[in-house]
């Protein structure tokens, strides 16, 4: 609708969300480039237990833990409705 403006608080929240998403995506890209795999494929393999052979390496274990956390945060921000459905036990 012409003439309608976005409330400054909402505008700021949107701006912060966009910045957070860009930061998360940059961090995901760093891991994707380092390990040569997309974050979605990494996450699927991790949950399936296909990456257990890397647990003995401290750097890899730390990277994978951080990567998983960043990816889960990105998914919650990107798909908030999906996150609420998946976390609802009923």
Residue range 6-37, pLDDT digits in tens:
777 777 788 888 899 999 999 999 999 999 99
pLDDT value at position 54? 85
Closest CA to 38 of 63, 71, 80, 2: 71
Q: Compute φ and ψ for 79, nearest 5 degrees.
A: -125, 70
pLDDT value at position 29? 98
Within 10 Å of residue 30's Cβ, how many Cβ atoms? Answer: 12
Rounded CA gap, 9 and 17, in Å? 12
Q: Tell me the torsion sign for CA atoms 6, 12, 14, 15.
A: positive
pTM value > 0.85: no
Q: Percent of the chain beyond pLDDT 90? A: 53
- pLDDT at 75 exceeding the cut of 80: yes
Domain extents in the chain: 8-82
């Amino acid at each position: 609708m012409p003439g309608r403006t976005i409330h400054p608080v909402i505008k700021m929240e949107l701006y912060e969300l966009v910045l957070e998403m860009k930061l998360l995506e940059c961090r995901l890209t760093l891991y994707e480039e380092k390990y040569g795999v997309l974050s979605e494929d990494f996450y699927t393999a991790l949950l399936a237990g296909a990456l257990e052979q890397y647990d003995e390496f401290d750097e890899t274990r730390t990277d994978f833990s951080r990567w998983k956390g960043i990816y889960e945060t990105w998914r919650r921000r990107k798909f908030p409705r999906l996150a609420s459905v998946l976390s609802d036990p009923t």
